[in-house]
Structure 1
Amino acid sequence: MIIEQALLQVKPGQSGQFVEAMQRARPLITAQPGFQSIEVRPAVDASDQYLLLVGWDCVESHRDGFRKSPDYPRWRALLHEFYDPMPTVTYFGPSIFS
């Protein structure tokens, strides 16, 4: 399993709306082939900041699957308006611990 990681900086004062939109968007990603898990965690010491962690079978499941799927434009429409700046996605491999 690989982990897709993004630090989401939500526009000030829009966290409540973002959380609602993320809840509506969740089924779009969980239905994708290769999807394994999703976590969205609010920062403890930075308001309007969230850590997105998505588990995928492989990078291609996200990059070539979800991002090219018919569900991705809806995901983007629900969530991307909240970000400033747009997040950078990083992929991480298997844990170094067994």
Structure 2
Amino acid sequence: MIIEHALLQVKTGQSDQFVAAMNKAKPLIAVQPGFQSIAVRPAGDRPDHFLLLVKWDNIESHRDGFRKSPEYQEWRALLHDFYDPMPTVSYFGPSIFS
């Protein structure tokens, strides 16, 4: 299992619209092979900032599966105009703690 991590900086004043769009987009990612779960958390101290955490079976499920799927094109159309700048995605492995 890996965790996809991205810090999402939403354009000022567009958080409510972003949250609505993310709710529409969630089913697009949830049906992907290798998808486990998604969490989108608002920053407690910075308006218009969100933390995206997606659990995947492996990196390929995201990079080679979802990102090349027709659903990803819909995801992009719903969400990518909200970001400034575009987020950087990182992948993290299992916890070092048992």
TM class by shorter chain equals over 0.9
Instruction: Spell out, residue by residue over 1:55-93, the C-alpha distance to the aligned partner (whole angstroms, 9 max, x if none).
Output: 000000000000001100000000000000000000001
**Uncovered stretches (5+) of structure 1, i.e. residues with no partner:** none
TM-score (norm 1): 0.99
One-letter identity of the residue aligned with 1:5: H
Moved over 3 A (4+): none
**Residue 47 of structure 1, CA deviation:** 0.4
**Residue 30 of structure 1, CA deviation:** 0.4
Whole-angstrom CA distance in 1 between matches of 2:57 and 2:97:
18
Matches within 5 A, 1:1-40: 1-40=1-40
Partner of 1:69: 69
Task: Report percent identity of matched pairs.
Answer: 77
Whole-angstrom CA distance in 2 between matches of 1:95 and 1:60:
19
Partner of 2:42: 42
1:80 aligns with 2:80: yes
**Uncovered stretches (5+) of structure 2, i.e. residues with no partner:** none
Q: How many correspondences in the alignment?
A: 98
Whole-angstrom CA distance in 2 between matches of 1:29 and 1:45:
28
Partner of 1:57: 57
